[in-house]
Each structure stands twice: as C-alpha cells, then as structure tokens.
C-alpha cells in the first residue's frame, strides 16, 4: 500500500479485497490509517501462509529504493491496482 505522498506499507492478508477495503475506509487503526496508505501499488499471491509471511518479512527488510524498484517493475505509474475491486 502507498499514500499519495509515497509512504509505503507492507502487509499480509488471507483476503486482499477485504483488507484493501478496510484500509481505504480507515477501519484499521495504526500505520495505514495514520499515513493514509490507500493505494494498492503491488501485491503477490501465495497459497501457503508461511511463504507469504516470509516474503513480507523479506520485503520489510529491504531499503526503500529496492521496494520502489519492485513496484516500478510491474506498476511504473504507481496506479491503484484495486480501483475496480472496491
């Protein structure tokens, strides 16, 4: 997730559509609400929660520049990929 100012949030969920909706409606207290991270700019799908959590931790450990490059590779315009979902 990203804010309009470029703040990034990395998380894991078992229901991406529901979680995006919660973030966009500011239903979740914490980082995404405080920094208004409402745009889905990147996501990955995993069938194994352990793999998903390991990947989340990996990405969280990266420098911002590496996270930005990951996003730019699939979404160079940083468009909200969830616009038509919610």
Give 38-63 pLDDT, tens digit per residue: 999 999 999 999 999 999 999 999 99
68 three-state secondary structure? helix
Q: What is the CATH number of the domain that holds 28?
A: 3.40.1440
Query: Residue 78: which domain range?
Result: 1-86
Q: In 3-state terms, the chain is what percent helix, strand and coil (to 5)?
A: 45, 5, 55
CA distance 80 to 75: 9
Residue 86: pLDDT band with limits 50, 70, 90: low
Residue 85: pLDDT band with limits 50, 70, 90: confident
Region 21-44: what's the mean pLDDT?
95
> What mean pLDDT value characterizes the chain?
95
Q: Is the pTM of this model over 0.85?
A: yes
Per the structure, how many domains does the chain have? 1
CA distance 55 to 61: 10
CA distance 15 to 30: 19
Kindly give the residue spans of alpha helices, DSSP state H, lying in 1-86: 16-24, 31-35, 49-60, 64-74
């Amino acid at each position: 997730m990203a804010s309009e100012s470029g703040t990034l949030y990395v998380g894991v969920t078992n229901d991406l559509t529901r979680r995006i909706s919660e973030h966009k409606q500011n239903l979740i207290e914490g980082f995404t609400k405080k920094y208004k991270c409402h745009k889905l700019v990147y996501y990955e799908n995993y069938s194994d929660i352990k793999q998903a959590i390991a990947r989340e931790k990996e990405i969280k450990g990266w420098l911002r520049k590496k996270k930005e490059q990951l996003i730019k590779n699939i979404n160079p315009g940083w468009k909200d990929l969830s616009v038509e979902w919610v």
